[in-house]
Amino acid sequence: MPTVEVRPFEPGDETAIARLSAVVRWPSLTDPAVVLRVCEAPGSVAFVAVTDDVLVGWAQALGDGVLQSHLSFLAVHPDHRRRGIGRLLVMATFQATATARIDLVTLDAEAFYEGFAHRRLLGYRLYPGA
């Protein structure tokens, strides 16, 4: 099995992340310029997973550096799932936020997140003008 390197996001990774976002059907992140802004936003930490010089996963979180952070994005290419890459990305991103807890929202990955120490809470996604 190929070795996976998890490292901090670097400018230049945004094009591969945009391609991965298209594969996992996240249309709001298919523009590399948007990905770059997301990954370099104040309070943002982002990590990528690379194997054989190919980006196969990424994660991004926002945090206050003390108590609270939010795992905003986690994606692993479907051909590379169930190999521990998602867990490595979550842990690297969480540690980099330097916070005591991290919240997240998921539509279809409950089974994955159930494998972490957690407490299930009710959440909402709000939009301007709603």
Is residue 120 included in any domain, yes or no? no
Is residue 126 included in any domain, yes or no? no
pLDDT one-digit tens code per residue, 9-57 = 999 999 999 999 999 999 999 999 999 999 999 999 999 999 999 999 9
CATH number at residue 100: 3.40.630.30
Is residue 66 included in any domain, yes or no? yes
Is residue 130 included in any domain, yes or no? no
126, pLDDT greater than 90: no
Is residue 31 included in any domain, yes or no? yes
Q: Which domain holds residue 43?
A: 5-113
Beta bridge partners of 63: 69
Is residue 124 included in any domain, yes or no? no
Q: Name the nearest CA neighbour of 84 among 49, 45, 39, 47.
A: 49
pTM of this structure:
0.87
Is residue 122 included in any domain, yes or no? no
Lowest mean pLDDT segment, chosen from 5-9, 23-27, 86-90, 118-122: 118-122
